Amino acid sequence: MEIDPYPSVIPYGRQWIDESDIAAVVETLRSDFVAQGPKVAAFEAALREVTGAGYAVAVSSGTAALHLSCLALGLGPGDCGIVPAITFAATANCLRYVGAEVAFCDVDPRSGLASPERFSEVLRRRPEAKVLLPVSYSGSVPDLASLSKLAKEAGAFVIEDAAHSIGASYGEGTPSGACEHSDAAILSFHPVKHVCAGEGGAVLTNDASLARRVRTLRSHGIEPREDWSYDQGELGYHYRMTDLQAALGLSQLSRLPEFIARRRELAKRYQNAFCEEPFVSRIQIATEDEQSSRHLFVIHFRNEQERRAAYAFFHRHNVRVQVHYMPVYRHSYYEGSESRLCSGAEAFYATCLSLPLYPLLKDEEQEYVIQCLRAFLES
Ligand SMILES: Cc1ncc(COP(=O)(O)O)c(C=O)c1O
């Protein structure tokens, strides 16, 4: 079947900034504060409301949030953390920033999620591991209750990487980021994520002293005092979020229900389309999780050759599909790290492809993506 390229480029993800978001930023630009003002605190309060976490500390990126979580938990040289092999590199890098080692665990070859069993396998080899970093890959929250039990038995912390899952829920409807089963969770406000703040991130926790530590570390390690003086008690960073970013984040956060509803609607349309031939016998959907926030819509081909060919076909037709992710241990920086048991991650990586999914994706653009896949499968 022949199909013409789409007249404009369809990305795999992008932000949706509307006039209300622009007005919120302009209002802040006209106000007395553009850096450290009331919007950061208001954004943090709104994040607590949405996630149910007791404390939220806004920072400059999701990566900074991961770094500060590791620091605040006291992780350092000689420690080891367990990270799912399928994630963005930042989930592992935060351990390296504090001088800790990374041990990668395997994931389910379809969902890309690391189950408690996969973490447990690595814990048997590395019983000294001090932290587990489960990732809510694509917007699906892993089995945090069991992971927390496992971590407690091992004397390890849990930092949830919830960069993909604000607005998702798990179990009986607990919101992602509530930190019911973790010491801390992190969010990202990069433009392809649900809530865009230009760039930005947050640490969520129910532990008051951990939140205080993250707050101090995001601003040079300096403790403010009542009067003019201040003291830098330890070496911190400049990882603060600005009021401009927070104004955008706050406005976007008020639109989160609309964003999630549209993402779920688009995901359902893909699911319905792929129930039929030629799709049903040639591709599989990575997850049908109804509680997912649908950050990514991932499909699997039968083998790596088909995935490679499909990637090239989509790109020739102006559809910028992506691969999320190459197992982190394959990056040259991580060469030599243990990866011998990650056959699930290898299978996942070989066959996965993320289709366009973002609230601004028009129905006709999605229809084109589906027809493009049909044309590929019938070619
Ligand atoms: C799973 C995951 N963790 C962490 C991050 C880092 O977030 P940021 O880009 O805000 O630093 C990302 C960003 O892509 C991510 O996808």
Specify the pLDDT at position 307. Answer: 98
CATH class of the domain at 256-378: alpha beta
* 3-state secondary structure (DSSP) of residue 297: strand
Residue 297 has pLDDT above 90, yes or no: yes
Q: How confident is the model at residue 340 (pLDDT cuts 50, 70, 90)?
A: low
Q: Is the CB of 134 under 6 A from ligand 1?
A: no
CA 272 to chain centre: 26
Does 70 sit in the ligand 1 pocket, CB within 6 Å?
Answer: no
Q: Which long-range contacts (CB under 8 A, 24 or more apart) does 4-7 make?
A: 4/317, 5/316, 5/317, 5/318, 6/317, 6/318, 6/319, 6/365, 6/368, 6/372, 7/318
Please name which of 19, 88, 91, 43 lies closest in space to residue 204, comparing C-alpha atoms: 43
Position 341 pLDDT exceeds 70: no
pLDDT in tens, 34-59: 999 999 999 999 999 999 999 999 99
88 close to ligand 1 (CB < 6 Angstrom): yes
Do the domains at 19-254 and 256-378 have one common CATH topology? no
* 172-202 pLDDT per residue, tens: 999 999 999 999 999 999 999 999 999 999 9
pLDDT above 80 for 339: no
Q: Is 135 in the pocket of ligand 1 (CB under 6 A)?
A: yes
Q: What is the pLDDT of residues 204-232, one digit of tens each?
A: 999 999 999 999 999 999 987 788 889 99
164 lines ligand 1 (CB under 6 A): yes
Distance, CA 64 to ligand 1 centroid (Å)?
10
Q: What share of the chain has pLDDT > 90, as a percent?
A: 95
- Over residues 236-275, the pLDDT tens digits come to 999 999 999 999 999 999 999 999 999 999 999 999 999 9
- From the options 3.20.20.150, 3.20.20.140, 3.40.640.10, 3.55.50.30, give the CATH code of 19-254: 3.40.640.10
Rounded to the nearest integer, the mean pLDDT of the chain is: 96
Residues, the chain, total?
379
Please state whether beta strands 201-205 and 55-59 pair in parallel, antiparallel, or not at all (unpaired): antiparallel
8 Å CB contact between 158 and 135: no
pLDDT more than 70, % of the chain:
99
| Residue 370 in this model has a pLDDT that exceeds 70 | yes
Any atom of ligand 1 within 6 Å of the Cβ of 190: yes
User: What are the pLDDT digits (tens) for 61-70?
Assistant: 999 999 999 9
Distance 226 CA to ligand 1 centre (A): 35
Judge whether 86 and 345 are in contact, CB under 8 Å.
Answer: yes
Domain ranges of the chain: 19-254, 256-378
Cα separation values, 65 from 96, 101, 316, Å: 14, 18, 37
Q: How large is the average pLDDT for residues 340-360?
A: 94
Token match 């399928």: residue?
Answer: 86
Q: How far is the CA of 100 from the centre of ligand 1 (A)?
A: 19
CA of 189 to the centre of ligand 1 (A): 8
Q: CB neighbours (10 Å) of residue 99?
A: 12
| Ligand 1 pocket test, candidate residues 88, 164, 195, 237, most atoms within 8 A of CB | 88
| Helices marked H in 184-303 | 208-217, 243-254, 256-273
Q: Which of 112-121, 239-248, 331-340, 351-360 has the lowest mean pLDDT?
A: 331-340
Q: Could you tell me which of 324, 357, 329, 308 has the C-alpha nearest to residue 137?
A: 324
**Residue 147, CA distances (Å) to 10, 12, 158 in order:** 38, 31, 8
Cβ 280 vs Cβ 75: under 8 Å: no
Q: Which of 15, 63, 159 to mutate to test the pocket of ligand 1 (most atoms within 8 A of CB)?
A: 63
The stretch 314-339 carries a mean pLDDT of 92
Q: How do beta strands 201-205 and 184-188 pair?
A: antiparallel
Kindly give the distance from the C-alpha atom of residue 313 to the centroid of ligand 1, in angstroms, as a whole number: 28
